[in-house]
């Protein structure tokens, strides 16, 4: 079988660290072209734009998008109009409207789209689903605390209008929880702590519930310098499953379970390959929708200014 | 043909002023029962809750919901689970997630759902669509300025988290614009002016664009005491159509056109009747999605405190 001929748009840190190694390690894909306005990707044809790559480049079956979410809608739409399968880094778009429009466009075009919620491919997620299949949950608690100063130095766009603030890491937790739970989650209330010199929250507390009444809370903190924590607790009453390290570690009733090593992006590209083979889409807007609903329904509290 | 046996949930001002007169003037409907915790509706069976109405009341085909959007999701879901057609006052729910879940539930149940964007039934909207069918727009401008002090005295919930603020009237404009335009609109940027003692904006400026690049601006003001204005201008370059008075007046290139008298709710109930007859749904989330995206992607500017 011929490999899937893949183009990559955007060759920044996430493309270099994660996408290219995952693609090149998977014989089902052949990385044929890169569109970038920065440094070129070695060993493949480089182009200054998606339009140039599509018109002057090698034949492509699929395109992966690693540019920032602002402006990404137009690019992905262009690729879909050209009949290409698309993989779109998280968060898929700058607004929910754009993301929903891409879902419709991919469906109408009959091509494969994947909104790349990479945390869903953490090694603990599939075992958590298997554990849950035999149980009924009583509650879910998310605790997601990390240091923006450590992980995002100088990235002021996180704090501007349209930036996700603490939801930049928090949306990873929401992507796992919504994958594990079968029914959609609703934001009942949210408290967003917004530094007085920023537009986006630096911390948030969410109270959510699904259609069958399951309470889900999330405690998100983005200025947490010590003991960083990426934890999801699934409480089934007689048993509690805990994901740690963003899904790379798993314990059941306090007993640590053995998991394969973290390999989110390789697993995600295998999933993309299977979607293309079966002619289906996986474009879940729910994590982004929960963020938009938190901004919409949430109460804002001004807190002290944030300075790096 | 037997009339559609209708139940009404919530018997407040909008139910008394609009729904009940529209239903009683339409022989296709028979108002059989009302669920209310306030004063009873004369001439029909009254119940203290939807659950009581469903279990102890007369047989019903359809239910109209006029309770506040907070808490409405659970009620509408209950009616859908009982196989009833539903009409849901605007805005349909307290969050976008709830609205999307109702769309899915109605579709799966195979019943009719109508999200009741009443402004779409203003007498100028259908003529505007007919005018537009032969033209290509260059721009759309919304100017929506009214006095919250006059229309919503004492309604503090408008300013709380989850309240719509200036989008309470503004969503009517958005519902007309999204009905007139064939392709979805995206929020490119938004400036929200939020009184320092409130959670919701008292004024907003939106810059939107659709998938084919049409610019749409909206200038919304909720503390505008003189010369109130509810205007949508459709600019086709060689011709400009203007809706005023929220769609009750229409002019083309400055010439006022003759329209039938405003009768939004009677027209909306005729639409509901046709949807039921044809077994289809009309549950457009787009106006609510544009509000959520404005809160999500918008920049907030604190302005002076609002006191009635």
Could you report the per-residue pLDDT of A3-23, keeping only the tens digit for each? Answer: 999 999 999 999 999 999 999
Q: What is the tens place of the pLDDT at every residue in A145-180?
A: 999 999 988 888 899 998 999 999 999 999 999 999
pLDDT of B211 strictly over 90: no
Cα–Cα distance for residue pair A301/A239, rounded to 1 Å: 36
Res B1 pLDDT > 80: no
As a whole number of angstroms, the distance between CA B127 and CA A136 comes to 54
Predicted local distance difference test score (pLDDT) of residue A153? 87
Residue B120 pLDDT: 98
Q: Closest-CA residue in chain B for A210?
A: B98
Q: What separation in angstroms does the CA of B33 have from each of A229, B29, B51, B174?
A: 53, 12, 12, 33
Answer whether residue B225 shows pLDDT above 90: no
Residue B109: CB atoms within 10 Å? 17
Per the annotation, the verdict on A90 as an active-site residue is: yes
State how far the Cα of A108 lies from the Cα of A304, in Å rounded to an integer. Answer: 47
**CA–CA distance, B74 with B188 (Å, rounded to integer):** 33
Mutate which of A96, A164, A208 to disrupt the B interface (most B C-beta within 10 Å)?
A96
| Residue B296 backbone phi and psi in degrees, to 5 | -70, -50
How far is B262 from B226, CA to CA, in rounded Å?
23
pTM of the full structure: 0.95
CA distance B195 to chain A (A): 12
Q: What is the least distance, in Å, from the CA of A291 to any CA of chain B? A: 8
Q: Which residues, listed in sequence order, are joined to residue A186 by a DSSP beta bridge?
A: A209
Q: Give the single-character DSSP code of B73.
A: H
Q: Is residue A239's pLDDT more than 80?
A: yes
Query: Is the pLDDT assigned to residue B241 strictly greater than 90?
Result: yes
pLDDT of B268 above 80: yes
Which pairs count as long-range contacts for B266-269, CB under 8 Å and 24+ apart, including other chains?
B266/B22, B266/B25, B266/B26, B267/B121, B268/B22, B268/B87, B268/B114, B268/B116, B268/B118, B268/B120, B268/B121, B269/B22, B269/B23, B269/B26, B269/B28, B269/B29, B269/B87
Q: Residue B156's pLDDT is what?
A: 87
Residue pLDDT, tens place only, A261-278: 999 999 999 999 999 999
* pLDDT above 70 coverage of chain A, percent: 100
Segment B99-134, tens digit of pLDDT: 999 999 999 999 999 999 999 999 999 999 999 999
Provide the pLDDT for residue B141: 98
A289 → chain B, closest CA residue:
B97
**Which residue matches tokens 């995002």?**
A152
pLDDT of residue A156: 87
Residue B211 C-alpha, separation from nearest chain A C-alpha, in angstroms: 8
B187 and A161 within 8 Å at the Cβ level: the answer is no
Q: Note whether B90 and B35 are within 8 A (CB).
A: no
Q: Give the full edge-to-edge strand order of the sheet including B215-221.
A: B255-256, B249-252, B240-244, B229-235, B139-145, B215-221, B203-210, B185-195, B299-303
Q: Are B186 and A98 in contact (CB < 8 Å)?
A: yes
Spell out which chain B residues touch chain A, with contact meaning CB-CB distance below 8 angstroms. 73, 77, 94-98, 100-101, 160-162, 184-187, 189-190, 199, 211, 286, 289-293, 295-300
List chain B residues with CB under 8 Å of A299: 160-161, 199
DSSP-derived letter for residue B60 is: -
**C-alpha distances in angstroms, A183 versus A129, A177, A202, A293, B104?**
13, 11, 28, 17, 11
**B292 with A291: Cβ contact below 8 A:** no
pLDDT > 90 fraction of chain A, expressed in percent and rounded: 93
pLDDT at A31: 97
CA distance A63 to chain B (A): 20
Q: Tell me which chain A residues have a C-beta less than 8 angstroms from the C-beta of B300.
A: 161, 199, 300
Across B145-157, average pLDDT: 90
Of A161, A211, A296, the CB nearest to B95: A296
**Interface confidence (ipTM) of the complex:** 0.93
The CA distance from A272 to A289, in Å, is 22
Mean pLDDT within B77-86: 98
Catalytic residue among B90, B129, B138, B145: B90
Question: In this complex, how many residue pairs, one in chain A and one in chain B, have their CB atoms less than 8 Å apart?
Answer: 91
User: What is the distance of C-alpha B80 from the center of its chain?
Assistant: 20
- Split at pLDDT 50, 70, 90, the class of B154 is confident
Give the pairing type, strands B255-256 and B249-252: antiparallel
Chain B residues lying within 8 Å of A97, measured CB to CB = 184-187, 286, 289-290, 293
Q: Which residues in chain B have their CB less than 8 angstroms from residue A190's CB?
A: 161
Interface of A with B (CB under 8 A): 73, 77, 94-98, 100-101, 160-162, 184-187, 189-190, 199, 211, 286, 289-293, 295-300
Q: What is the C-alpha separation between A291 and A117, in angstroms, rounded?
A: 14
What pLDDT was estimated at residue A76?
Answer: 98
Eight-class DSSP state of A156: G
Contacts of B77 in chain A (CB under 8 A): 211
pLDDT at A95 over 80: yes
The rounded mean pLDDT for chain A is 96
* Residue A22 to residue A30: CA distance in whole angstroms: 11
Measured between CA atoms, the residue of chain A closest to residue B162 is A297
Question: B191 or B151: whose pLDDT is higher?
Answer: B191
pLDDT bucket at B40, cuts 50 / 70 / 90 = very high
B162, B187, B298 ranked by CB distance to A97: nearest? B187
Average pLDDT (A133-147) is 96
**A73/chain B closest Cα distance in angstroms:** 9
Which chain A residue's Cα is nearest to B186? A97
B308: confidence class by pLDDT, cuts 50, 70, 90: confident
Q: Average of pLDDT values for A77-92?
A: 97
> Is B292's CB within 8 Å of A292's CB?
yes
Among chain B residues, CA nearest to A191 = B161
Mutate to test the interface with B, among A186, A213, A291 (most CBs of B within 10 A): A186
Would you call B296 and A291 a contact, using CB atoms and an 8 Å cutoff? yes
Is omega for the bond preceding B91 within 30 degrees of 0, making it cis?
Answer: yes
Confidence tier at A257 by pLDDT (50, 70, 90): very high
CA–CA dist B220, A21 (Å, integer): 49
What's residue A157's pLDDT? 86
At residue B90, the pLDDT reads 96
Of B95, B101, B293, which is closest to A95 when you measure between CB atoms?
B293
Pairing between β-strand A85-89 and β-strand B45-47 as defined by DSSP bridges: unpaired
Kindly indicate the confidence band of residue B155, based on its pLDDT and cuts at 50, 70 and 90: confident
- Chain A: residue nearest B297 by CA? A162
Mean pLDDT over B181-195 rounds to: 95
Q: Tell me if B162 and A292 make a contact (CB, 8 A cut-off).
A: no
Closest CA in chain B for residue A192? B161
Q: Determine which helix (DSSP H) or strand (DSSP E) holds B14, and give its type and residue range.
A: helix B13-14
């Amino acid at each position: 079988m011929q490999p899937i001929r893949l183009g990559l748009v955007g060759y920044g840190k996430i493309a270099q660290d994660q996408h290219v190694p995952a693609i090149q390690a998977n014989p089902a894909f052949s990385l044929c072209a890169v569109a970038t306005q920065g440094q070129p990707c070695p060993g493949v044809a480089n182009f200054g734009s998606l339009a140039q790559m599509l018109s002057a480049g090698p034949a492509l079956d699929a395109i992966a998008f690693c540019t920032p979410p602002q402006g990404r809608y137009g690019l992905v739409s262009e690729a879909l109009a050209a009949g290409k399968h698309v993989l779109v880094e998280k968060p898929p778009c700058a607004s929910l409207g754009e993301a929903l429009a891409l879902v419709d466009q991919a469906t109408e075009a009959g091509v494969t789209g994947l909104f790349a919620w990479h945390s869903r491919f953490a090694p603990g997620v599939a075992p958590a689903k298997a554990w849950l299949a035999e149980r009924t949950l009583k509650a879910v608690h998310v605790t997601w605390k990390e240091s923006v100063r450590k992980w995002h130095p100088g990235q002021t766009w996180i704090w501007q209008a349209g930036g996700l603030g603490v939801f930049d890491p928090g949306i990873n937790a929401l992507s796992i929880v919504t994958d594990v739970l079968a029914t959609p989650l609703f934001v009942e209330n949210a408290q967003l702590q917004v530094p007085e010199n920023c537009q986006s929250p630096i911390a948030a507390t969410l109270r959510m519930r699904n259609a069958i009444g399951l309470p889900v809370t999330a405690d998100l903190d983005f200025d947490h310098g010590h003991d960083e924590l990426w934890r999801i607790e699934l409480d089934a009453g007689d048993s509690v499953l805990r994901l740690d390290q963003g899904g790379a570690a798993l314990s059941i009733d306090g007993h640590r379970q053995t998991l394969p090593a973290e390999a989110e992006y390789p697993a995600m590209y295998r999933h993309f390959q299977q979607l293309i083979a079966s002619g289906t889409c996986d474009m879940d807007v729910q994590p982004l929708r929960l963020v938009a609903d938190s901004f919409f329904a949430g109460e804002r509290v001004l807190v002290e200014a944030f300075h790096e």
